[in-house]
Structure 1
Amino acid sequence: MLHSSNKKDERKKKVKVKAIKMENAWNEAIKAGLNKESVFRIVGLESELEAEKLRKMRELVEVLSLKYNFPTKNDVANIARLLIQIEEKIDRLEVQLQEEKTPSGQNQEKKIVKVILEDMAERQAIVSSLLGYDEKIVRSSVSDQDE
């Protein structure tokens, strides 16, 4: 019985060695096939075609989003950017109000107007002719997020 156990162990070792040799041979064959320049050219062309398909699909989604009035990824990103700008503006106004030492309301109004003018210069402010109403926000045709 001890003798048959040794034979089984030897067979297992031989099978294992052959399996490792076969695996290495297959790996080398795969590497040799993939490292050819023609494969890189084909993959490059395919990736260009896929990128063009994605661009067209993005354009179609944009058209559909305007027609059916649902937000795109760019719309959500633009809203997030606007929210961050508004939060920063509120923080600056709060700091200015806390630093205000004189009770003069006119002084505070000047500082608030200054902040709004600074934001307008940076094209961050939303200005309306009517109090409480914002002008229409128009979607940009090209977004920084896509590129």
Structure 2
Amino acid sequence: MEQKFYDLSAKTPAGKEVSMSEFAGKAVLIVNTATKCGLTPQFEGLEHLHQKYKDQGLVVLGFPCNQFAGQEPETNDTIEQVCQMNHGVTFQLMAKCDVNGDGTHPVFKYLKSKKGGLLGSSIKWNFTKFLVDKNGKVIKRYAPVTKPEAIEDDIRKAL
């Protein structure tokens, strides 16, 4: 049987299990993040989308990842505080994870299987984004350099 988005789960930095089924009926924007990346200013754009659309059903989930040039040195104990203080992040961050390789987090295995990229299914860099519609269907994948504001029209359509 084919796996579905709502069958997946992920942990928060504090270790609490979060089922993706909690987001049924909502659009979900999933991003692999890093605090020491040249694209880190995207945190502000992601937070803006979160604030603007959360009451209409948008969920932004950040998955910190240290697989790209060691650009996520924070630990699960410090990541939320650093992102809040330095970037004003209030959207949900998840525990650090791998997005490529043998240890790829199941959420990213699923997303990549539904929407491959220029390098096949591999994630090229930090801030690759996936938009999941209200029914759990992965509708779009965005390159790391795609700014959050550039995907606002797609988010409105997904809502």
TM-score tier (shorter): under 0.3
More helix by share: 1
Q: Say which structure, 1 or 2, has more relative contact order (CA 8 Å, 6+ apart).
A: 2
- TM-score, structure 2 normalization: 0.19
Which of the two has greater strand per residue?
2
Q: Whose Rg is larger?
A: 1
